[in-house]
Chain A
Amino acid sequence: MAALIEVVVGDENKRQELLRVLQGLGYETLPAVNLSESISSLAQNRPRAVLVAEETLETPAEVMLKEIQRAAPLLPVVICLGKRDASRAVEYMKLGAFECVAPPWTEEALRASLRKAVRFDGTALGLSPQGPSRKAILVLGVLIAAAFSFGMGITVWRWHERKRSMEVFEGKDRWDLPYAHPSGITWDGRSFWIGDWFGQAIYRHSPKSFEVQQVYRYPTDIPVALTFAEGTLWTATGSGLIQKHLNDESLRVIGQFKFPGVIGLCYDGLYLWSLNNQRVLMQHLLDDRLTVLQSFYYPGSKPVALACNGQSLWTLDAQGPAILKHDLERPGVVFNRKLLSLYQSEEWRPSGLAWDGMQFWTVAEGALEGSKRKEGGRAKVFRH
């Protein structure tokens, strides 16, 4: 059976031309004229590859690529370039495009790329045309049993890990920090990272006892917010920069982008999000310019920090203080607002929010001054 390929082209003539070429190459085709038609068609028809014609669509090809990857993560996307441009092709491939094809989009130009793309389909688990042999059935049975056992093992292990991690924290929901002015917190899967604006440093903490594992000095600027995206640390600074760091001993800066006033950063698995003190939420593409794809007005009062759990955006608002849950597609809409009761004493001022995969964490500065300051008023991290 011929492989099905989705062809996303805005221009009618070019779409027909490409459909004819693909049919000439022996593929079944599935036309789409825009992003929404493409995405809805992916789920229904499950094509083996997608062809996106650059410069014929209202939506930029970078966004098309990201959204298709979000809907179907392993589906190969081939970009048909509007004009021959190797730098642009390499940029698309860095963003995850399977291949780029230069014009003219002829059978000759597309044959090898499409052939390679449709063969990118994972392990085949089919029955042979002659019917399965007893050996094949046995092997399949063993594989299914192994997969089932593996799945059960993973489930039990995760349950055990969760139980163990809860036991570690049993009865404890707050820890003192050995510095006074935390400005943000994030989780990298193994440790918590907290910025200290006054001490101009970033601290890596153990997740159980919160002891400091490593200190990274930040002498030239003030860390205001931090997050991990695609395994790399990103920080927002007091001088109005968003910075990308190497994960080396000195957290060397390898990229800087001017975005003044940012007070919160988070990564949703696809896009970087920033929130600034002008109450604007921005969705960024992780490209060479940190392109802003969309901006939204923040509907809360006093934004302090931003976090993401993969399904929703969450903000920490000093008014309350409260945690706000936002729709990831329309962040201007608040689904839920949860007051944080432990901040009602006004002993601490919250300054950072993180999600570790199971629960929220906040960091806070002591809010009491002078003689009123007591042990409980020191900087802390809280588990929620």
Chain B
Amino acid sequence: MKASHFFPVRFQRGQDSQEGWGRLLEIHSSGAKLLTSVPIRAEEEIFISFEIEDHRFESLRSKVSASHRDADGYAVCELQFVGFKERVDLQRALTDVLVRRSFTD
């Protein structure tokens, strides 16, 4: 199932660094694919915040498992969520959203 738009996301590389933003191309309970104009390298750790319908996630610790530049110069990053609790919360939220969407579609 696909959402009607790409979810916007903001992220931070560390406590003191400036925030960046981008969009989620994909999301599942253990990871996501991020598209951003900010150059991000593989093996970096970032903290991402986003909302999926009424579920809000703040500063999810994520490891960049792979990153490449697309034809326009954007970074396409494969993220893996590190925290077990966050993954469980996300699993619940995604289940809720998917069930509701299948109910309303």
Contact = CB atoms under 8 A, between A and B. Distances in A.
Nearest to A91: B8
B21 A246 contact: no
A111 B39 CA distance: 13
B9 to A, nearest CB: 7
A99 B23 CA distance: 9
11 contacts: A84-B18, A89-B8, A90-B10, A93-B21, A112-B74, A115-B72, A116-B72, A116-B74, A247-B104, A248-B100, A248-B104
B21 A119 contact: no
B9 A90 contact: yes
Question: Looking at B8, B18, B21, which has the most chain A CB atoms within 10 Å of its CB?
Answer: B21
B10 A112 contact: no
A168 B100 CA distance: 32
Interface of B: 8-11, 18-21, 23, 37, 50, 53-54, 72-74, 100, 103-104
B20 A86 contact: yes
Contacts of A254: 53-54
B33 to A, nearest CB: 16
A113 interface: yes
B73 A246 contact: no
A134 B72 CA distance: 33
Contacts of B9: 90
Given A99-B37, A116-B74, 9 more contacts: A89-B10, A90-B10, A93-B21, A111-B73, A246-B53, A246-B100, A248-B104, A249-B103, A254-B54
B21 A89 contact: yes
Interface in A88-113: 89-90, 93-94, 99-101, 111-113
A85 B18 CA distance: 9
Given A89-B21, A100-B21, A246-B54, A119 B72 contact: yes
Nearest to A116: B72
Interface of A: 84-87, 89-90, 93-94, 99-101, 111-113, 115-116, 119, 246-249, 254
B66 to A, nearest CB: 19
Contacts of B37: 99, 101, 112-113, 116
A94 B72 contact: no
Contacts of B50: 90
A87 B9 CA distance: 9
The 6 residue pairs across chains A and B that have the minimum distance between CB atoms: A86-B19, A112-B73, A86-B10, A93-B8, A116-B72, A90-B8
A86 B21 contact: yes
A248 B105 CA distance: 11
Nearest to A92: B8
A109 to B, nearest CB: 8
A85 B12 CA distance: 12
A247 B74 contact: no
A87 B12 CA distance: 12
A87 B72 contact: no
Contact of A112 (B72, B103, B104): B72
B10 A87 contact: yes
A362 to B, nearest CB: 27
Question: Looking at B9, B50, B54, B103, which has the most chain A CB atoms within 10 Å of its CB?
Answer: B54
Contacts of A90: 8-10, 21, 50
Contacts of B73: 111-112, 115-116
Contacts of A246: 53-54, 100
Nearest to B11: A86
Contacts of A101: 37
Contacts of B72: 112, 115-116, 119
Contacts of B8: 89-90, 93-94
A101 B22 CA distance: 11
Contacts of A116: 37, 72-74
A320 to B, nearest CB: 38
A104 to B, nearest CB: 13
Nearest to A89: B21
